[in-house]
Amino acid sequence: MSMKHAVHSGASSAADPQGSRTPTASTSQMPIMPPHPPSHIPAPSSRFYQPYFSHAEIEFLSEKQRGKQSATQEERNRQSACTFLEAIGARIGFPRRTIATAQAIYHRFHLFYPAKNPQKDFDTTLAALYVSAKENDTLKKPRELLAAAYTIRRPEAAAKSKNPMGDIDLDTMNPQEVENDRQKLLTVERLMLETMCFNFAARMPFPYVIKIGKKMNASKKCIKFAWRIAIDSFRTLLPLIYPPHTLAVGCIYVAALLLSYDKPEGPEKDADGNWSESVIARRLSTHSGDWQREYRTKVSDCEDIAHTVLDLFIQFTQIQSTNASPSTPSSPSPNLPIREKHNLHALQLQHPFKPDQLIQIKITLRERESENHPVRKRKRVKASAERSTQYSNENIGQNEGTVRFMFFPPGAIAITEKKAS
């Protein structure tokens, strides 16, 4: 507008150098606007994808977003959201990879945004599942996710549905409510994509559990149990701390530890030539051998994963008022198709451990850790201005300024290019 007006003013001056010409209506209605100050133009910025966080960073971000909530309430809300994601995924028929990715996306999102209570966190869980479905090429429309979610949240209305699959017909609902929920889902989706820096390279520990388990000559029982523990690990923040191969080794360690607990010492190998669970647990808890270099995993990593998983199991075994198990929660809705009920029943494998047994295992682990190495102190992240800016979400979701979302920091890109050359 300023450039156009400047040209027009120049033409008028050339036609009437004395300035005696009466201004036209068009010129009088277009006041001259000062140019936009360069200092007010939003400077371009860059955001780098951070695939994993340290324990100190997780603690810092969690405390920042927790607000007035207690850590117990925060954990309860997290488990409720994971249960909801499990139920929707089982109902729609999503593969395990999609459900696990959605849980990891949900955890990452709430490192930058405060977690609401489960009733108000409806749009966040659905957005996480929507992004995960795109990421894993198991696409579903928002209305399909909403139909499954409404069916789970409103079992009374689902019981009256004439749909053979038992889903609520969205045409029978308030169209304004459905549209509002759809718009909220799409809004949160954008925020989630920005917290991910649009990085869709999700890596799961499940293939590593099988490959590493076979390489360790673990039994099928141990590998299967480790697979279930890997599924449970996505109810925690472990996937945001450890890469998938380390998480897989840790899950194998936990499986061997639990299967060998309070069992009489038997032969080191079975009839198929597989190592016993006690041998595998003993090997992964000692610093001797080349397994740490081979699998790029430390003993301390396995111990930390073990304590986190045991805490999860203890939490669920102590709760008597819920039907959810640490393996897979049951759906809140009884109106599931026969196919889904069969899938849920197959997934609801209760581990045969009581809370006191799990606590005793944790005590044994702590005693062993104190004998093998001194107490490790975690560094606490200081809430400095630089750190607060690094983990700030103030620029996420805004339209002003140019933001470059990058998968790697510049240093990592330079190292990669140097190796490639």
Residues 292-346 have pLDDT tens digits of 999 999 999 999 999 999 999 998 887 743 444 344 333 334 444 434 443 443 3
Tell me what the mean pLDDT of segment 99-114 comes to. 95
Per-residue pLDDT, averaged over 225-236, amounts to 97
Buried b (16+ CB within 10 A) or exposed e, 19-41: eeeeeeeeeeeeeeeeeeeeeee
Structure tokens at 358: 């799990």
Amino acid type, 3: M
* Residue 121 pLDDT level (bands cut at 50, 70, 90): confident
* 183-197 confidence digits (pLDDT tens): 999 999 999 999 988
Q: Contact at 8 Å (CB) between 264 and 212? A: no
Confidence of residue 118 (pLDDT cuts 50, 70, 90): low
Least confidently predicted of 172-181, 292-301, 370-379: 370-379
Integer Cα distance of 290 and 159 in angstroms: 58
Query: What are the structural domain ranges in the chain?
Result: 52-195, 206-372
Task: Name 162's Cβ contacts closer than 8 Å, sequence gap at least 6.
Answer: 169
In CATH, the number for domain 52-195 is 1.10.472.10
